[in-house]
Amino acid sequence: MDKKITPTTALTAYVAQNDLAGARQMLREAFWSGTPLTETELETVSTDASAPMRRLLATYTSATDAPMPTPKAATLRSTDQPQCIAPVRKAASLGTSPPSLPQEWVQVLNAFHEVGAKEAVIAGGALRDHFNGKSVKDVDIFMNAKAFKWQDRRRIQQAFKKAKLSIARQKYERQGPYGISTEYGLIPPHKTSSFDAQDTFKADSYHVIAGPDGTDYNIVFVNPGIHQKNNNIPVARAFAYFITELFDINICKISTSGDWVYKSEDYNNGVQEKKIKIVRANACSAEHLERVTTKYSDWEHPPAPKDENVTPSQTATARAGTASTGPC
């Protein structure tokens, strides 16, 4: 009986013969079959590979497994990129949701992509609570800010219209020249907070209630915007990685572009150990930690931090922002 040829066996033969064309074709077929080779399998067959073959394998690994390209793959010229990376880009634009992710979330996220915010991602507490069996209070969607606030508001309106979800009117208070007045509207004025004590990145958040179940959405516009320059991966995946690294608490460092979920090492370790900790303190980390530990009361957690580098005015600014979104 003939011995069955596995993808790993076939790739080993292509590597031994330095057959780049055959390796590319095999990798493409493995990807589209839904069973791409793992990083361990690729490392095994690349031991004696030529430099061009190693570049091919490194780029394929980064395209299928990693949130960002490997350093070696990132330095390649576009003409050196293997053809297998093209279907990865295409697959990321199809908008298929990961298993168990609420369809309405993906519906809204895809709508933002379609109206121009291709970098938009869901990140933070909603995903944390959803994947850990806790009730979800609201959904935070992050994207780059436009030049003017009215453009941000228009983008919100366009996205929810594209998603075919009605926005509910809200009651809110506005500070005017003659005091505080009560008003009603679909999109209340934005609130501003910061990702760090140095105010490197601001977060302008708009609270929206939409959908048949009245889901609370916080649409967060990051200013200055985060723009990835590497074409090896879809823009939303690069943005997901970057925005997740700005979060202050370990188990909040999770994000999704709608077709792919990025779970940071901090998140994975925190969930595995059931341990909450601050990994990047900002002006409202103490308040944020209190809210998270209240919900995850049976998890290990440290006492509230005292950041001497955060001034009272910065803390007040953060609290004047949104109490449940963005960096806080």
Tell me if the bond preceding 67 is cis, omega within 30° of 0: no
What fold does the segment set 103-320 form as a domain? Answer: Beta Polymerase; domain 2 (3.30.460)
Where along the chain do its domains lie? 7-92, 103-320
Element (H, E) at 121: strand 121-123
Residue 268: phi, psi to the nearest 5? -60, -45
Identify the pLDDT of residue 15: 84
DSSP letter for 224, please.
S
DSSP H or E stretch at residue 289:
helix 285-295
Pairing of strands 261-263, 179-185: unpaired
Within the chain, what is the greatest distance between any pair of CA atoms?
89
292's CB contacts (< 8 A; 6+ apart) are 125, 249, 251, 252, 276, 301
Q: What is the Cα 40 distance to its own chain's centre?
A: 25
Q: What is the mean pLDDT of residues 87-115?
A: 69
| Mean pLDDT confidence for 24-46 | 70
Question: What's the pLDDT tens digit per position in 285-296?
Answer: 888 899 999 999
More confident residue, 100 or 319: 100
* Chain length of the chain: 328
> Distance from first CA to last CA of the chain, Å, rounded?
63
Give yes or no for residue 94 having a pLDDT over 90: no
* Res 227: pLDDT: 64
Is 106 within 8 Å of 95 (Cβ atoms)?
yes
147 DSSP 8-state letter = S
Contacts of 28 by beta carbon, 8 Å cutoff, 6+ apart: 83, 84, 87
DSSP tag of 167: B
Rounded to the nearest 5°, which phi and psi values hold at 161?
-65, -45
Interval 25-36 mean pLDDT: 65
